[in-house]
Amino acid sequence: MRTIATVTGIYDKGSGALVVTENAAVDAATGEPLVTSRSSAFIRGEGGFGGERGSDQPWERPDREPDHRVVQSTRPEQALIYRLSGDRNPLHVDPKFAARGGFSQPILHGLCTYGVTGRALLQALCDGDRRGSGRWRDDSAVRYGR
């Protein structure tokens, strides 16, 4: 596999800069595309340089059924374990604090969500082979214990 990383945009968001990247992986022998991932990083304090603000166009769900649907349970104490990563935000453990943010209950840490999702996708799309690849998007908060 060969992967090419490209910075596709650097945008001035005022209070920070948004750096958008794309990683395209192809089969090294055939050149066949395998996976393309896009990500962005918001760098606080680096805005105000006068660049473009970037698109405000939100992502839209495709008008079709998903290619795969995966249901994965997490444990009720999962957020307590992930506090060990250093993220002690009460949004993840305090129901009253979560309610102030508009959530019906505390939500799972992004790092935990990423790990659980990655594992579920490897099982669904790659038969558990960690060398596999796939395309996915997560666009919602995860509530633990479900």
Taking only the tens place, the pLDDT of each residue in 34-93 is 888 888 888 888 999 999 998 877 778 889 998 888 888 888 888 888 888 888 889 899
Active site residues: 87, 92
Question: Does the predicted model carry a pTM greater than 0.85?
Answer: no
Dist CA 87 CA 100 (whole Å):
19
- CB-based contacts of 13, cutoff 8 Å, min separation 6: 42, 47, 53, 54
Q: How far is CA 87 from the centre of its chain?
A: 16
Task: Note whether 17 and 38 are within 8 A (CB).
Answer: no
Confidence of residue 19 (pLDDT cuts 50, 70, 90): very high
**Residue 27 pLDDT > 60:** yes
Residue 62 is encoded by which pair of tokens? Answer: 């495709």
Confidence of residue 24 (pLDDT cuts 50, 70, 90): very high
